[in-house]
Amino acid sequence: MKRPYRVGILGAGLAAVALLAAGCGTGGVASAGGTPDTSNGQKLFSASCGTCHTLQAAGTTGTIGPNLDNAFAASVAEGYAQSSIENLVLDQIRIGSGTVVTYTTNKKFTAQPTMPANIVKGQDAIDVAAYVASVAGQGGFTSSASFASFGTDGAKIFKGAGCAGCHTLAAAGSTGTVGPNLDQLGSALTVAVVSHQVEVGGGLMPAFQGKLSAAQIQAVAQYVSSSVGKK
C-alpha cells in the first residue's frame, strides 16, 4: 500500500495511531512517576485542547484537529492498553505536529493545520494525557446522533465521521495515514467503489452502514470520488 509523502519536522497525527497498532509505544509516562490527576486533566483539556479537538466525554467540539474519539476508537476496540494510548497522547503534546507539508500527487504543496508543542507541560501534560486515554474512543466512533448533524454535505461528513483522521485527501486538507492515501488511488475511486467501502469497511476501517444514512454515504462517496487527485 502506498503511503503519502510527508515532509516536515514530524509526521505526527494519525501516523501515531499506526505506530500504536504496530506495537511501538514509548515509555514516556511510565518514567514520570506519581498518579495522574485526571480531573485536572479534564479541566486543562477543555481549556487548552477542546478548541481544536472533539472529545465526547469532555463535551468539546473542535474540528481543527482530529476527532480524538474517532482517532482512538479502533485502538480501544482492539484492546490496546490505556497506557499505550496515554504515552501516545503525551508524545503528541510534547512534540506537537511541527509544520506538516504534504505532497499531493500532482506535486503541489499543501500546508496542514498544526498543533503547537507543549501547550501544557510537566505534570499537567501527564494529567491531560491520562485523562484523554481514559475516555477517548471508549464509546466507539462518533454516535449516529451526531452523524445526523452533518446532513448530506460530503465534505462535512468526510471530516466529521472520521474519514479525514484516517485518510489523506488534499481537497479536504486531511493527512491521516491509517488508511490509504485517497489521492493516490485517484480514478480507481468511483462513486460505487467508495460507497461500498464506506458501507462495509474492512481492516481497520469501520463499517458506516447504519451509522450514516444511505443519502449520506452517497454524498461522501460523491465528494471523495470527485475530489481525488484534485487541488
Given a contact cutoff of 8 angstroms between Cβ atoms, the answer to whether 180 and 105 are in contact is: no
The single residue listed with the C-alpha cell 472520521 is 162
Q: Provide the mask over 190-209, with x wherever binding to ligand HEC is found by CB under 6 A and - wherever it is not.
A: ---xx--xx---xxxxx-x-
Q: Provide the mask over 89-128, with x wherever binding to ligand HEC is found by CB under 6 A and - wherever it is not.
A: x--xx---x--x-----------xxxx---xx-------x
Q: How far is CA 34 from its chain centroid? A: 29
CB nearer to ligand HEC: give 106 or 135: 135
- In this structure, what are the phi and psi dihedrals at residue 21, rounded to the nearest 5 degrees? -60, -30
Please tell me the count of residues contacting ligand HEC according to CB under 6 A.
55
Q: Is 204 exposed, middle or buried (0-12, 13-18, 19+ CB in 10 A)?
A: middle
- Mark the segment that binds ligand HEC (CB under 6 A) among 29-37, 75-83, 101-109, 158-166: 158-166
Q: Which of 25, 58, 220, 227 binds ligand HEC (CB under 6 A)?
A: 220
For 181, half-sphere exposure in the C-beta direction (CA atoms, 13 angstrom radius) is 18
Residues written for the chain: 231
CB nearer to ligand HEC: give 30 or 111: 111
**Residues with Cβ within 8 Å of residue 176, at least 6 apart in sequence:** 13, 14, 66, 163, 164, 165, 166, 167, 168
- Considering only residues 18 to 47 of the shown chain, the ones binding ligand HEC according to CB under 6 A are none
Given a contact cutoff of 8 angstroms between Cβ atoms, the answer to whether 71 and 136 are in contact is: yes
CB of 35 to ligand HEC, least distance (A): 19
CB of 47 to ligand HEC, least distance (A): 9
CB of 118 to ligand HEC, least distance (A): 9
Q: How far is CA 35 from its chain centroid? A: 27
Q: Which run of H or of E encompasses 228?
A: none
Asked if 219 interacts with ligand HEC (CB under 6 A), we say no
Q: Return residues touching ligand HEC (CB under 6 A).
A: 12-14, 16-17, 48-49, 51-53, 64-66, 68, 70-71, 74, 89, 92-93, 97, 100, 112-115, 119-120, 128, 132, 161-163, 165-167, 175, 178-180, 182, 185, 189, 193-194, 197-198, 202-206, 208, 220, 224
